[in-house]
Structure formats: C-alpha cells, structure tokens
Chains A and B, each alone.
Chain A
Amino acid sequence: DGGITQSPKYLFRKEGQNVTLSCEQNLNHDAMYWYRQDPGQGLRLIYYSQIVNDFQKGDIAEGYSVSREKKESFPLTVTSAQKNPTAFYLCASKWGAHTDTQYFGPGTRLTVL
C-alpha cells in the first residue's frame, strides 16, 4: 500500500532530551512537510522540503531540526531548545509544485514530562 507512515504513534520523553520523529513515504512525492498541532488549533508549519538535500524553515522552526537525505524520508528532531514541545506532530507530502493536495501521515503525539 502507498502512503505516509509516522512512528511511533505516542512518544514520551523527559524534559531536556532531544527526540527524533520518523516520517516515511512511498508515494514518490518530492515535497515533504512537518506541522505541529496544539489542542483546538489548526496546523502550524515547522519545516518543509521541496527536494532531497534541501529544506526551508516554516513559521515555527525554532527548537526543531530536519534532514532530507533520501526522497522517502524526512525525520524531525525536537531539541531541548524547544520551549513547549508537547504537541501532535503531523508529516505530509505532495507531488509537484502546482498543487497543495497534501497527504498526511497518522501523526505522532509527543509528551514531554
């Protein structure tokens, strides 16, 4: 089956630890995105990547880092510099530059204790 996978579904970490969230897609999409969602709110863009080995900051990139070494993978690291990391994190991908029909993964709920 084609799609986007995120793992794990739930993640717990202690304050001050870095944590990396996984995002993999087998849709052959060029662009990939990371969003953050807080309760009762819409999605906010953290980082995005249009092609391999290139990525751009979104609206709330501080305290996060990404890499795009392979087309299929776009991992997100939540660093200890992120002041309020507890949130629902969503990864998405899309094909082509002229559409914004983004396909989303199931999300990872990160809780920092």
Chain B
Amino acid sequence: DAKTTQPPSMDCAEGRAANLPCNHSTISGNEYVYWYRQIHSQGPQYIIHGLKNNETNEMASLIITEDRKSSTLILPHATLRDTAVYYCIVRVERGSNYQLIWGAGTKLIIKP
C-alpha cells in the first residue's frame, strides 16, 4: 500500500512557482522521501529526495515539515515542459534492501 497521499491534479501558470503537496503521516524515522515525475507514456525521471532537511537542486526544492508528516515539492519557474505526473514516494526498508512505494501521483498541468 502507498504511504503517501497527493492531490490527483493541479494547475499552474507558466512562469509561476508550482507547489506540489504530499502527506506521509505514517513515515518512519529512517524512511526517505523521493520525488519522481513521468511525462506521458515515458519512464519516470528522478527529481530530488530528502530525509529531514530541506533540499534544493537544479530542478526543484523539497521542503519537509519538522514532524516529517508532509512535504512540498517546489518547481520555482514552471514551464510547459514541466507538465507531467509527479510522484511523491517513500523509501521503505524491506529486509536487507530498500523499496520505493509509489502512489498514484499528482497530474500537474502548466498553462500558458
């Protein structure tokens, strides 16, 4: 079962910041939050991940609340090419390995 809850869809105007929320209220202390995105009928693409601290890279920023029960992915200046399904994922420990548990994602539509 997915460990994350996301809104099924969101719109954002081109050039604005897109803020995608994710709830992971049952996350454990050593479980990371990962974000991937999938453009229609292609393989998913890694965006960013974090454990406790906020993270930033060339694609996005990840803000994780202090209690770690939710996070927000921020695309600072959304473009039309950012239209995709965005998945918030928890990495869980399974025996000696780790596994990504995928939810249904948020379909983000960037409008001109």
Contact = CB atoms under 8 A, between A and B. Distances in A.
Say whether A associates with B: yes
Interface of B: 2, 32, 34, 41-46, 49, 87, 91, 97-100, 102-105
B66 to A, nearest CB: 23
Interface stretch (A39-47, A67-75, A77-85): A39-47
Interface string A75-113: 000000000000010101000010011111111010000
B43 A107 contact: yes
Interface of A: 4, 40-45, 48, 50, 56, 58, 88, 90, 92, 97, 100-107, 109
Name the 6 nearest CB pairs between A and B, nearest first: A104-B43, A42-B102, A43-B102, A101-B46, A104-B44, A42-B103
Contacts of A4: 43
Nearest to B42: A106
B45 to A, nearest CB: 7
Contacts of B32: 100
Contacts of A100: 32, 34, 49, 91, 98, 100
A62 to B, nearest CB: 17
A42 B46 contact: no
A45 B41 CA distance: 18
Contacts of A97: 97
A47 to B, nearest CB: 12
Given A56-B97, A102-B46, 15 more contacts: A40-B104, A41-B104, A42-B102, A42-B104, A43-B44, A45-B99, A48-B97, A58-B99, A88-B41, A90-B44, A97-B97, A100-B49, A100-B100, A103-B46, A104-B43
Contact of A107 (B2, B42, B100, B102): B42
Contacts of A88: 41
A97 to B, nearest CB: 8
Contacts of B102: 42-44
Contact of A104 (B2, B45, B103, B105): B45
Contacts of B44: 43, 90, 102, 104
A42 B41 contact: no
A44 B44 CA distance: 13
